[in-house]
Amino acid sequence: MNFDNAIWDDGEWVSWDEINQQIQYKEWRAKYPKGDVSLIPIFEQMIITAQEYFQSTGNHLQVYGVIGELFAAITHGIKLHKVSAQGSDGRMKDDFIEVKTLAPFSTTNTTSVKMTGNFNKLLIVNINNDFEISEKLIDRAKLPNKQTGILKVKWSDY
């Protein structure tokens, strides 16, 4: 390292990459105060990849469910369960969260939820045609009282 790619600080070289990474992490922490900062670059790269793939091919990658779960983890601090866990996708404090994602190609803006699942809250993540993300966190008590089967949940209803 030298003055071309680093600065001398307190008796050691500090690279510009390290400084830029620290700045990036501070910006992410401000934007996502509850989230796991290590997941943010993965989330951002997946959104970019999905968008670029669609723009290049006109087809969608089948990654929107994962993007929705990563969004939940970084915006709400949800600790995601292992892939094989059934009943919910993660935990936020004392609540079990079911995450459902509406993909950009969704024409009905409706998702299906298994009511036998063990969840207290439903987080619907909506990725629109411009790959912008919005979300709605719904208490299970506000969903129609259906104990079994599949419930169709429409974005516009909540």
pLDDT score of 16: 85
Tell me, what amino acid is at 3? F
pLDDT tens, residue by residue, 58-104 = 999 999 999 999 999 999 999 999 987 888 999 999 999 999 999 99
Dump the DSSP string for 93-136.
Answer: TTEEEEEEEE-TT-SS-EEEEETTS--SEEEEEEE-TT--EEEE
pLDDT score of 3: 66
Neighbours of 26 (CB within 10 A): 11
pLDDT score of 20: 86
Every domain of the chain and the residues it spans: 14-157
pLDDT band at residue 2 using 50, 70 and 90 as cut-offs: low
Residue 136 has pLDDT above 90, yes or no: yes
Mean pLDDT over each residue of the chain, to the nearest integer: 92
pLDDT tens, residue by residue, 95-131 = 999 999 999 999 999 999 999 999 999 999 999 999 9
Q: What is the C-alpha separation between 96 and 117, in angstroms, rounded?
A: 10
pLDDT score of 37: 86
Helix (H, G, I), strand (E, B), or coil: what is residue 11? coil
Q: In this structure, what token pair is assigned to residue 56?
A: 């290049």
